């Protein structure tokens, strides 16, 4: 019988916590879902990927604040799946590892509702790796077991055979076990595993809050108490735990585990965020810049007419934002890139050049050093400026190096104000708190306005960032940082996002030997 109200449920593994660890298939399902029933553990940052208007149901919390029972969760899946919806059941780690995924799939199958399982990175393996512990290692561990620590090992009727497991496999990974470390360790020792066996705990693996504690089977419970290790955590027993200091992610890559403040506009943050994430850093996004349109429609109309009358020899772009906004306002005034036909184009640096290229335009000249002075020299080197008319679409209050220099060389410069690089009215509370609590390891500045505006957002000064590594995309930005009381540690020579991150990486690499492994 055809049933056009038939829905579909995807049981999706979110991975252990790092939002990048969801699978490509899982993310696609999540983005398309109309209803998302999610667990808290491991899913936090991914919730931003849900479609606008999707119904998000926190399975850890019902209206009256009690945790939904498994029956209530299954009932929700049956209800929405049965009502023709695309439903994602999002779980931390893998949906079939201690997550009741099998039970939910069975109930859906019994009710005749189509269901697809999309596996995830289980914390038992991926979470350990993020903590610097390989679950196997040639000649050290050739087998592993994943065990629930939820059951009380002192009860006679327990389902987990600790004594037998103790020596049956090389690596024992125990989930949900932090509350029973003493009991589990004793049971394993009683089963014949030497008390000197290395053991470790990884709390909140693969998140910015990750903590690792190491010891032996004999000491680990005491170590956990002393260091305040709490759930959710992985408890691992076996020689691989002894490799942790060697494979600590912070030892393997200079940016790993660092909290890096990103201060660009929200729209522009994504490239830097991606580059940082790829190196294992934790970007903290605090947009200190908001572009407020400041466009005079009459001036834009005049500009368009002058362009189309071929009055301009040059148009100079000093930022990617200027390219984007200029083309927007030109479009709104009835023009498009053809209005620039015949006009030479100068770009301040590779970022601006790329913005032009993404719009199908080629820069005739690009300054080598990506500063105003550089544009000036490069343009003047192409021929005389005497009597030529130059269009400069840009931010209100930008530096005067270019217009002054061009005018001094005899050019007629028309500035077209596009926007004001303003300070956002508010900053994300979590990011602000991280700054105020001194939790930021690295702060990045990609323009002078981000430095000034961040100071404004922080109530006038940047002292909360005193202990952070300060990275600036170029010398002008660094100068502004100095004026506001910071001492930049890294000033990129290649004034691009990639150049800035490369300079940061090199700096951290050269200093990391002193800071790790104490």
| Residues near ligand SAH (CB under 6 A) | 16-17, 41-42, 91-94, 97-99, 122-124, 127, 175-176, 202, 204-206, 231-234
Q: Could you give the C-alpha distances from 474 to 52, 453, 463, 509, in angstroms and in order?
A: 38, 17, 21, 20
Report the alpha-carbon distance of residue 346 to residue 262 in Å, rounded: 28
Tell the smallest beta-carbon distance from residue 181 to ligand SAH (Å): 12
Task: Tell me the closest approach of the beta carbon of residue 108 to ligand SAH, in angstroms.
Answer: 18
Can you read off the two tokens belonging to residue 19?
């939002």
Quote the CA–CA distance of 104 and 87 in Å, as a whole number.
13
Cβ-closest position to ligand SAH: 93
In this complex, which beta carbon is closest to ligand SAH, that of residue 212 or of residue 477?
212
- Closer CB to ligand SAH, 42 or 238, in the complex: 42
Output 85 or 180, the one with its CB closest to ligand SAH: 180
Report the distance separating Cα 307 and Cα 368, nearest Å.
27
CB 441 within 8 A of CB 468: yes
* Shortest CB 135 distance to ligand SAH, Å: 13
Nearer to ligand SAH among residue 115 and residue 392 (C-beta): 115
CA distance 216 to 196: 5
| CB nearer to ligand SAH: pick between 123 and 447 | 123
C-alpha dihedral, 315 to 320 to 324 to 330, nearest 10°: -10
Helix (H, G, I), strand (E, B) or coil at 216: strand
Considering 47, 152, 176, 369, which one is annotated as catalytic?
Answer: 176
61 is catalytic: yes
> First-to-last CA distance in the chain?
68
Smallest separation (angstroms) from ligand SAH to the CB of 441: 21
Q: How far is the CB of 17 from ligand SAH (least distance, A)?
A: 4
Q: 3-class SS at 4?
A: coil
Closer Cβ to ligand SAH, 40 or 161, answer by number: 40
Minimal distance, residue 205 CB to ligand SAH, in Å: 3
Cβ neighbors of 385 (< 8 A, separation 6 or more) are 379, 406, 409, 410, 411
Smallest distance, Å, CB 204 to ligand SAH?
Answer: 5
Per-residue CA distances from 200 to 234, 237, 246, 249 (Å): 8, 7, 14, 15
39 is catalytic: yes
**Interacting residues of 325 by C-beta distance below 8 A, sequence separation 6+:** 291, 293, 393, 418, 419
Choice between 15 and 351, CB closer to ligand SAH: 15
Report which of 284, 272, 10, 235 is spatially closest to residue 120, judged by C-alpha positions. Answer: 10
Beta-strand relationship, 171-175 and 211-216: unpaired
- Residues designated catalytic: 39, 61, 176
């Amino acid at each position: 019988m055809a049933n056009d109200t038939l829905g579909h449920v995807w049981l999706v593994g979110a991975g252990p916590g790092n939002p990048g660890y969801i699978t490509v298939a899982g993310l696609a399902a999540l983005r398309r879902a109309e209803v998302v029933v999610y667990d808290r553990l491991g899913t936090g940052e991914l919730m931003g990927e849900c479609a606008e208007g999707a119904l998000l149901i926190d399975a850890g919390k019902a209206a009256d604040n009690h945790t939904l029972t498994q029956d209530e969760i299954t009932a929700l899946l049956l209800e929405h799946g049965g009502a023709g919806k695309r439903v994602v059941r999002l779980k931390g780690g893998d949906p079939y590892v201690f997550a009741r995924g099998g039970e939910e799939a069975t109930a859906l199958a019994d009710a005749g509702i189509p269901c697809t399982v999309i596996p995830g990175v289980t914390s038992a393996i991926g979470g350990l790796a993020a903590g610097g512990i390989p679950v196997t290692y040639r000649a050290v561990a050739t087998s592993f077991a994943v065990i629930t620590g939820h059951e009380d090992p002192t009860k006679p009727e327990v389902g987990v055979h600790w004594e037998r497991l103790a020596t049956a496999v090389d690596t024992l990974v125990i989930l949900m076990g932090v509350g029973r470390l003493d009991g589990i360790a004793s049971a394993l020792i009683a089963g014949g595993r030497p008390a000197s066996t290395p053991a470790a705990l990884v709390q909140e693996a693969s998140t910015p809050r990750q903590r690792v504690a190491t010891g032996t089977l004999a000491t680990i419970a005491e170590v956990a108490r002393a260091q305040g290790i709490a759930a959710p955590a992985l408890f691992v027993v076996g020689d691989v735990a002894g490799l942790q200091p060697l494979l600590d992610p912070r030892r393997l890559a200079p940016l790993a585990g660092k909290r890096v403040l990103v201060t660009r506009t929200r729209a522009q943050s994504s490239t830097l965020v991606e580059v940082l994430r790829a190196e294992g850093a934790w970007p903290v996004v605090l947009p200190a810049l908001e572009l407020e349109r400041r466009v005079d429609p009459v001036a834009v109309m005049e500009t368009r007419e002058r362009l189309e009358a071929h009055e301009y020899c040059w148009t100079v772009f000093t930022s990617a934002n200027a390219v984007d906004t200029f083309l927007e306002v030109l479009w709104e005034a009835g023009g498009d890139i053809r209005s620039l036909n015949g006009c030479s184009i100068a770009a301040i640096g590779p970022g601006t050049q790329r913005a032009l290229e993404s719009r199908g335009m080629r820069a005739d000249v690009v300054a080598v050093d990506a500063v105003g002075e550089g544009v000036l020299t490069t343009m003047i080197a192409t021929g005389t400026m005497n009597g030529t008319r130059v269009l400069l679409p840009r931010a209100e209050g930008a530096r005067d190096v270019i217009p002054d220099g061009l005018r001094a060389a005899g050019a007629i410069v028309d500035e077209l104000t596009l926007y004001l690089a303003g300070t956002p009215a508010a900053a994300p509370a979590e990011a602000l708190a991280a700054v105020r609590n001194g939790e930021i390891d690295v702060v990045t500045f990609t323009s002078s306005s981000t430095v000034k505006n961040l100071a404004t957002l922080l109530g006038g000064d940047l002292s909360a960032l005193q202990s952070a590594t300060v990275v600036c995309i170029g010398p002008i930005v660094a100068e502004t940082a100095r004026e506001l009381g910071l001492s930049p540690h890294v000033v990129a020579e290649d004034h691009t996002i990639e150049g800035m991150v490369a300079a940061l990486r090199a700096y951290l690499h050269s200093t990391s030997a002193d800071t790790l492994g104490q």
